[in-house]
Chain A
């Protein structure tokens, strides 16, 4: 089940368990994220088992695989969004730049200011376009209209939305089309200048043209951010990502129990290799279209 990948092994010493207060401070590393033997539970149900991988800086990493195999669950573990579900529990280590994300004194709020997220269905706030983008900087203590104007314009330019909305900044963010709304959400995320941007199937609710624009966007901002994207669309993974992680489900021994599909990481490597020369037969079955 576990795949040994040369590139995945961390070259760093993995800091010890959660007892030391120094845990929450990071040290420079070659990797942005290091996940080691991560299992995620909802109550007693094990949703994902024994995932180990590393995410590298300024790359786009794609999580692919059939539905229900835990891709989104793993993604949300990277910015502590699973905390919002009362029964969720994470076992194993997740390190961000060498610091443990799940150590006792780590603040989820601080984590999320560095690791942003764009969701599947665009969810702009019922505020003006300007206020949508300014929201993040504001809650981080940035006042000053001039400064905020700067940040808003810069973020909207980065999200390739500025030209379309610059004349209607005070209009509601809800009045945008799907593709524009998603770019607004991306601008909103970029406005706090995170280190990492997580994207959970960001284009699945959009038409192909809007999808294309967002894929172009991802390529453009790659040099400044690290991106992890969950996608159902294999072509998208081949188009944009540098590395791909293929998830699937454990073959369940007990037939008939429909909700006990536990997700597992099958193979992880350079995108080209995953699609052209998959090492695992399940990967091959999926990328050639034989499996769901």
Chain B
């Protein structure tokens, strides 16, 4: 080993050199820059609320609360009631989570409990593929391929169920259409599955290994272990994940706009045409040059914004609490 003699320090440490230095301008500046970027999030959210609300006030002032929440929507006669769209949004989202919940949780459990690590990657890739298909492509396929094909199926179901008490209110009726609440709900279910699945996986992963092993040590089968060890721990987290999926489903615009049928009706018949909040905004904004019409559409945007924020807040709070609780044990 050879040592090269020290040629003298590059930064003299001797008496003349001060240890003091003002904090470099660049260092401070960088911090301010980073802070501003972070603040942008809050600024944008506040601006969204403020600017959209101010653009929609004429809706509230002209229609009044009873008008805003009426069940009639007739722009030709200046009637702008939001209820049909709120209804449509809720119904399609409900259908979506009823279908997506078991499917997503099933896939999540498949990945965490059944499939060995090495093989889980391809399955995760497939889920990512599902997530990357743009909404408008789902809508295109939905309206041109799925809806026509489903129409005949719906028709047979509806005629088969004539007279049956409970089922025919949902799955019966006249005016059966491929483009309907149900089709929209189906497509929404497919679209929200990736996010509900991946969040559920995260939640299930926080179940302590000792609890799983404890169940197995008692001679439980895998399903019994899931029921006894996994489910109690992940329950609230999965509820949070489903809520997030609900938020996504409610805000989904384009796919729903294409397959829901674009008719503001309130009915329990799921195989008939309907409308949803984001869909009507997307479809009719181009024609909404009159003040109150446009204000009404923007106002529904505000309603949608508030609704999704509330749902997201609750969902994140629930998921966060469940993950933290598991981590702290």
A–B touch (CB < 8 A): the answer is: yes
Partner of A107, one of B1, B11, B14, B20: B20
Q: A25-B19, A110-B20 are in contact. Are A157 and B10 (CB under 8 A)?
A: no
A193 within 8 A of B: yes
Residues of B1-43 at the interface with A, using a CB-CB cut-off of 8 Å, are: 1-4, 6, 9-11, 13-16, 18-23
Cβ–Cβ < 8 Å partners of A265 in chain B: none
A272 within 8 A of B: no
A44 within 8 A of B: no
Interface residues on A, range: 35 or more
* Residues A193 and B11 in contact, CB atoms below 8 Å apart: yes
* Residues A107 and B2 in contact, CB atoms below 8 Å apart: no
A105 within 8 A of B: yes
Closest to A106 in B: B19
* Residues B1 and A24 in contact, CB atoms below 8 Å apart: no
**A131 CA to B16 CA in the complex, in Å?**
31
Cβ–Cβ < 8 Å partners of B10 in chain A: 137, 140, 142, 151, 192-193
**A111 CA to B21 CA in the complex, in Å?**
10
* Residues B21 and A107 in contact, CB atoms below 8 Å apart: yes
Cβ–Cβ < 8 Å partners of A96 in chain B: 19
Cβ–Cβ < 8 Å partners of A24 in chain B: 18-20
Q: For the complex formed, measure the closest distance between the CB of B19 and the CB atoms of chain A, giving whole angstroms.
A: 5
**A137 CA to B20 CA in the complex, in Å?**
20
Interface residues on B, range: 10 to 19
Q: Number of residue pairs across A and B with beta carbons under 8 Å?
A: 67
Interface of B is mostly: loop
A4 within 8 A of B: no
**A151 CA to B4 CA in the complex, in Å?**
10
Cβ–Cβ < 8 Å partners of B13 in chain A: 97, 114, 194-195
Cβ–Cβ < 8 Å partners of B3 in chain A: 157-158, 220-221
* Residues B6 and A107 in contact, CB atoms below 8 Å apart: no
Cβ–Cβ < 8 Å partners of B6 in chain A: 193, 224
Cβ–Cβ < 8 Å partners of B19 in chain A: 24-26, 96, 99, 101, 106-107, 110-111, 114
Partner of B4, one of A105, A154, A194: A154
Cβ–Cβ < 8 Å partners of B22 in chain A: 107
* Residues B4 and A27 in contact, CB atoms below 8 Å apart: no
* Residues B15 and A107 in contact, CB atoms below 8 Å apart: no
Cβ–Cβ < 8 Å partners of A28 in chain B: 14-15
A89 within 8 A of B: no
Q: For the complex formed, measure the closest distance between the CB of B169 and the CB atoms of chain A, giving whole angstroms.
A: 62
A67 within 8 A of B: no
Which residues of chain B have a CB within 8 Å of any CB of chain A?
Answer: 1-4, 6, 9-11, 13-16, 18-23
29 chain-A/chain-B pairs, Cβ below 8 angstroms: A21-B20, A24-B18, A26-B14, A27-B15, A96-B19, A97-B15, A101-B19, A106-B19, A107-B19, A107-B20, A107-B23, A110-B18, A110-B19, A111-B19, A113-B11, A137-B10, A140-B10, A142-B10, A153-B4, A154-B4, A157-B1, A158-B4, A160-B1, A192-B11, A193-B10, A194-B13, A195-B13, A220-B3, A221-B3
Which residues of chain A have a CB within 8 Å of any CB of chain B?
Answer: 21, 24-28, 96-97, 99, 101, 103, 105-107, 109-111, 113-114, 137, 140, 142, 151, 153-154, 157-158, 160, 192-195, 216, 220-221, 224
Given A24-B19, A28-B14, 14 extra CB contacts under 8 A: A21-B20, A24-B20, A26-B15, A106-B20, A107-B20, A107-B21, A107-B23, A111-B19, A140-B10, A158-B3, A192-B11, A194-B9, A195-B9, A216-B1
The 7 closest A-B pairs by CB, nearest first: A24-B20, A107-B21, A193-B9, A105-B20, A195-B13, A224-B6, A24-B19
